[in-house]
Homo-oligomer: A and B are copies of this chain.
Amino acid sequence: MSDLNTPSGIVASLQRGQLFSAACPSRDVLKHITSRWGVLVLVALSTGTHRFSDLRRKIDGVSERMLAQTLDWLEGDGFVARRAYPVVPPHVEYSLTPMGREVADRVAGLVDWIEENLGRVLHQHHDTGVAPADQPVE
């Protein structure tokens, strides 16, 4: 009886201890997903297949290099599927894998919350009293 695999909370609570451990591989996966562009790519692909240049245009601010690398990470983790057509001007399509969709849904949930509550959050910054602290700007 390998009951270490109960899909409910047992595994979750056990495994969670893992994330808190520096060496746990889940930290790498988390890093890819929560990376600056990873989140945006997942959300962008939530609406369907996109070509490389479409993503680049949609995600304001990404450089080709970063987009390529992010897609590479996500593909390596099995969240994104890459499909290349051997045509003259390169044509490549990216889409979410079933697993990627599961992740993207959760990421989108977080992103949606932020956007819907941005007002409340920003308001906080005002009555936080002060603390210009040491972080210049971003």
Residues of A at the B interface (CB closer than 8 Å) are: 1, 5, 7, 11-12, 15-16, 18-22, 25-26, 28-31, 33-34, 36, 39-40, 43-44, 58-61, 69, 72, 75-78, 83-86, 99, 102-103, 106-107, 109-125, 128, 131, 133-138
Give bound CA distance, A124 to B85, whole Å. 23
Besides the known contacts A31-B138, A77-B124, A86-B134, 19 further A-B residue pairs in the complex with CB atoms under 8 A apart = A5-B116, A11-B115, A12-B112, A16-B43, A16-B111, A19-B115, A20-B40, A26-B114, A29-B121, A34-B39, A72-B131, A75-B128, A77-B125, A78-B121, A78-B123, A103-B110, A106-B106, A106-B109, A106-B113
